[in-house]
Amino acid sequence: MQASQEMTKYFDHLQKNITALHGLASRARKKGYDPEEKVEVSLAKNMAERVVGLISVIAPQIVDSGVVERIIELEKEYGALDWRVALKIAEEIAREKFCKFKDQEEAMSIGIRAGFAYVTVGVVSAPLEGIATIDFKDRMDKRGRYMSLSFAGPIRNAGGTAAAVSMLIADYVRKKFNYDVYDAQENEIKRTYTEMQDYRDRVAPRQYFPAYEEIEFIMKNLPIEVAGEPSERFEVSNYKDLPRVPTNNLRSGFCLMMTECIPLKAPKLWKQLSKWGKELDMEQWDFLEKFLKMQKEVKSKGEVKTEEKKEDDAKLKPDYSYIKDLVAGRPIFTHPLRTGGFRLRYGRCRTSGYSSCAIHPATMAVTDNYLATGTQLKLERPAKGTALTS
């Protein structure tokens, strides 16, 4: 699309001044007063260059290796921001098609991080700091080795969906290099759920807290282990000293992945995988379809009776998760799918932007002026919180 003359002039002005300031910062760094003698943040003209610039912090050899040009080619094939671009570029970097690495495991790690950087459009630190380590461990039956991703607190910068996609990228690379799948043990599943409860009660409540059945199902089907760096001074209250869990301390990145990322973003993952998962040999993630059905039943507290299930499959079921952890004293405007309850008609106006909800000023008056601009709400659907405007 051709920009107007005024916009072109504006963009040229920005580019000219950014280049000048970057050059000034580079000359200042060369004087040696800072820890590094060059500006770590490189200028990038497009997202592919941002991805390479970010990953070059830990793998300098990736610069001018052809990765930028390959990402642009893949975008022409699949479309910009398509997750398949991330999967493909991760595999090709891991196969050392562009540059060499110390060993195969380092190549796989850099490939996964590069794919993750693409999903996060190259603007957050999560690919470098959110994934703390990528390890390879022995299965309990000694049949082979599996991949383990250890997450740290900065994974939250990626957002829930992108963080969950990092697991798809890692698994795609794992399968290409013939590593085995993770074999979750009963004690590890119980440790996970206990740790999530401890984190919620002693550190911070999470936006979504899955039921034990959800965690058990996910862990038994995940082909890659979700691990984490210890981040809190509190120890888990039970299931300590497990042989494949190196710490007893609570892990924020781990808890985030197992609450607000994989279980909460499963619908988005399956929406994409159901279209092209088979094409890319990702059938091991087909368990998400069954998981989503189970998740609906868990959320609805089994309100739909067995004999009614067939005819009610297409109907919306109540979701109790938004009031499950209600703080005493906070009002409930409606119970799940209750007739006559407080409802929101979804749409956008100039005051709401893309993220908040707006209600009619008369509704504010009807609620005895209790609802006002800035009031925070938790909704039954979608499961995110929101703030009100009029």
Give residue-wise pLDDT tens across range 67-102: 999 999 999 999 999 999 999 999 999 999 999 999
**What's the rounded mean pLDDT across residues 40-62?**
90
Identity of the residue numbered 165: V
Residue bearing the bigger pLDDT, 45 or 261: 261
- Whether the model clears a pTM of 0.75, i.e. scores above it, the answer is yes
Query: Which of 215, 209, 112 has the alpha carbon at shortest distance from 165?
Result: 112
**CA-CA distance, 166 to 171, in Å (whole number)?**
9
**CA-CA distance, 384 to 260, in Å (whole number)?**
10
Q: Which of 28-37, 300-309, 368-377 has the highest mean pLDDT?
A: 28-37
**What's the rounded mean pLDDT across residues 151-163?**
94
**CA-CA distance, 289 to 324, in Å (whole number)?**
24
pLDDT digits 0-9 by tens, 231-265: 999 999 999 999 999 999 999 999 999 999 999 99
Position 305 scores a pLDDT of 45
Position 307 scores a pLDDT of 44
pLDDT digits 0-9 by tens, 345-387: 667 788 887 778 888 888 889 888 888 888 888 888 766 778 8
Residue bearing the bigger pLDDT, 192 or 312: 192
Domain ranges across the chain:
39-123, 126-317, 334-390
Whether pLDDT at 117 is above 50: yes
**CA-CA distance, 288 to 278, in Å (whole number)?**
14
Position 302 scores a pLDDT of 54
Residue bearing the bigger pLDDT, 376 or 183: 183
Q: Which of 17-26, 166-175, 293-302 has the lowest mean pLDDT?
A: 293-302
**What's the rounded mean pLDDT across residues 129-143?**
95
Give me the half-sphere count of Cα atoms (radius 13 Å) on the Cβ side of residue 81: 5
**What's the rounded mean pLDDT across residues 341-345?**
75
HEC string for the chain:
CCCCHHHHHHHHHHHHHHHHHHHHHHHHHCCCCCCCCCCCCCCCCCHHHHHHHHHCCCCHHHCCCCHHHHHHHHHHHHCCCCHHHHHHHHHHHHCCCCCCCCCHHHHHHHHHHHHHHHHCCCCCCHHHHHEEEEEEEECCCCCCEEEEEEECHHHHHHCHHHHHHHHHHHHHHHHHCCCECCCCCHHHHHHHHHHHHHHHHHCCCCCCCCCHHHHHHHHHHCCCEEEECCCCCCECCCCCCCCCCCCCECCHHHHHHHHHHCCCCHHHHHHHHHHHCCCCCCHHHHHHHHHHHHHHHHHCCCCCCHHHHHHHCCCCCCCCHHHHCCCCCCCCCCCCCCCCCCCCCCCCCCCCCCCCEECCHHHHHHCCCCCCCCCEEECCCCCCEEEEEC
Q: Which of 67-76, 155-164, 201-210, 338-347 has the lowest mean pLDDT?
A: 338-347
385's tokens: 């919180």
**Residue 137 dihedral angles phi and psi, to the nearest 5°:** -125, 160
| Percentage with pLDDT > 90 across the chain | 69
Position 354 scores a pLDDT of 74
Position 312 scores a pLDDT of 52
Cα of 3 vs its chain's centroid, Å = 34
Q: Are 216 and 189 in contact (CB under 8 A)?
A: yes
Residue bearing the bigger pLDDT, 352 or 28: 28
Query: Which of 36, 44, 40, 1 has the alpha carbon at shortest distance from 19?
Result: 44
Q: Are 75 and 153 in contact (CB under 8 A)?
A: no
Q: Is the dihedral of CA 302, 306, 308, 311 positive or negative?
A: positive
Average model confidence (pLDDT) for the chain? 90
Q: pLDDT-based confidence at 304, cuts 50/70/90? A: very low
Whether pLDDT at 308 is above 70: no
- Spatial neighbors of 285 by CB under 8 A, at least 6 apart, are 168, 171, 223, 269, 270, 273, 277
Residue bearing the bigger pLDDT, 312 or 285: 285
**What's the rounded mean pLDDT across residues 15-41?**
92
Whether pLDDT at 28 is above 50: yes
| Percentage with pLDDT > 70 across the chain | 94
